[in-house]
Structures are given as structure tokens and as C-alpha cells.
């Protein structure tokens, strides 16, 4: 297949690209706004949630995950599950660090 006769049936419409662009800009503005708010222990989960939403937008639209086989969805989903497990284990470690007294203090 030559470059001139390439199949563009999965091409993303310009209007969708612009909509995703503005959604990413809005999520970035929300991230910046959230950084200035004092939400105590919720700062990190809020930032991670916004970052996850931006990553999902990029994967779904720009990495063409919406047109990929189901195996790619399974691989992406399992990666997200293991990322969530790692984040939860890290957060549980960070929360529980002050529970035990340190000798000498």
C-alpha cells in the first residue's frame, strides 16, 4: 500500500481534536487551581485523579485505543489496576509512618 492510497477511515475529525485539546487545557487549569487549594490529605489523590483523566483522554483519542483490539484494552486495564495497587500501597505507607514511635525522640 503506497502512502498516497493510505486508509484514513480511522482518522480523528478536527472538531474532536479541538474538543480534546480544550478538555486537556481545562484539566490542566484545574490541576493548577487544585495545587493552590489546601485540601490537606486529599491533595495527592485529587492530582492523581486529574492526571489519570488526562492520560485516559490521550490514550483513547490520540493513541487510537478506541479502534484497537480487545487485547489492548485488557493490557491497558491491567496496567491501570496494578498502578492503582502501587499507589494504594504507597499511600498506606505514607499514612502509617507516624503510627510507631521512634526511639530517642
Q: How far apart are CA 73 and CA 78, in angstroms?
A: 8
pLDDT of 80 reads 86
pLDDT of 4 reads 57
Q: Which three cell numbers stand for residue 89?
A: 500501597
The pTM (predicted TM-score) of the whole model is 0.71
Q: pLDDT means per 10 residues in the chain (105 residues)?
A: 61 91 97 92 88 91 86 89 90 80 65
pLDDT of 2 reads 54
pLDDT of 6 reads 60
Q: How far apart are CA 99 and CA 12, in angstroms?
A: 52
Amino acid at each position: 500500500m503506497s502512502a498516497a492510497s493510505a486508509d484514513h477511515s480511522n482518522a480523528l475529525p478536527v472538531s474532536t481534536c479541538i474538543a480534546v485539546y480544550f478538555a486537556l487545557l481545562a484539566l490542566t487549569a484545574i490541576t493548577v487551581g487544585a495545587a493552590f487549594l489546601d485540601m490537606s490529605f486529599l491533595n495527592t489523590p485529587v492530582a492523581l485523579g486529574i492526571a489519570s483523566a488526562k492520560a485516559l483522554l490521550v490514550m483513547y483519542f490520540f493513541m487510537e485505543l478506541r479502534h484497537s483490539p480487545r487485547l489492548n484494552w485488557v493490557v491497558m486495564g491491567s496496567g491501570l489496576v496494578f498502578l492503582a495497587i502501587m499507589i494504594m500501597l504507597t499511600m498506606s505507607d505514607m499514612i502509617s509512618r507516624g503510627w510507631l514511635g521512634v526511639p530517642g525522640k
